[in-house]
Amino acid sequence: MTVDDCTILQLPKIPDVRGNLTYVEGGVHVPFSIRRVYWIYDVPGGEVRGGHAYRTLQEVIIALSGSFDVLVSDGVNRRTIPMNRSYYGLYVPQMMWRQLANFSTNAVCLILASNPFDESDYIRRYDTFVAARSAE
Ligand code: TYD
């Protein structure tokens, strides 16, 4: 897996003059069964979240409201993906360093995760992550 495996998924969008509607089904619009959903909100200006990797967890990151950047690294290459549409999801596979930054005012970041919360699945040090990637 490289940063090129972090792909933008276009989610179904039902346009309507009363307001648009987007939905997501696990295993259909995202390539895994959704086991957990969480969201990040009320982020003060300039704050950064999520500097870590997961050993096994896959996720889809959605800018439900506002905008932010997702920075991903596979230990060799890096990419910055701007998220600003609520019908796009960024798929991030396991063993990818990822950080969320440059949140706009009132941004809401929704995350669909393939696993329940498990601290032992986290890699929280970048040097540990790079060492684990180069040992693959
Ligand atoms: P974490 O994933 O470490 O976010 P960040 O890298 O942005 O700091 O989560 C922050 C805290 O919240 C951490 O103590 C773990 C806890 N947490 C849960 O208990 N359950 C969850 O589903 C998530 C995502 C986090």
Q: Encode pLDDT of 65-118 as tens digits.
A: 999 999 999 999 999 999 999 999 999 999 999 999 999 999 999 999 999 999
Pocket test for ligand 1, best of 34, 48, 52, 54 (most atoms within 8 A of CB): 52
What does the alpha-carbon distance between residue 5 and residue 25 come to, in Å, rounded to a whole number? 20
Q: Which of 13, 29, 36, 52 is catalytic?
A: 52
For the Cβ of 55 lying below 6 angstroms from any atom of ligand 1, the answer is no
The model's pLDDT over 18-71, given as tens digits with 9 standing for 90+, comes to 999 999 999 999 999 999 999 999 999 999 999 999 999 999 999 999 999 999
52 counts as catalytic = yes
Contact criterion met (CB below 8 Å) for 71 and 80: yes
Q: What is the DSSP letter of 11?
A: P
Judge if the beta carbon of residue 39 lies within 6 A of ligand 1.
Answer: no
What per-residue confidence (pLDDT) applies to 69?
Answer: 98
The confidence score (pLDDT) of residue 28 equals 96
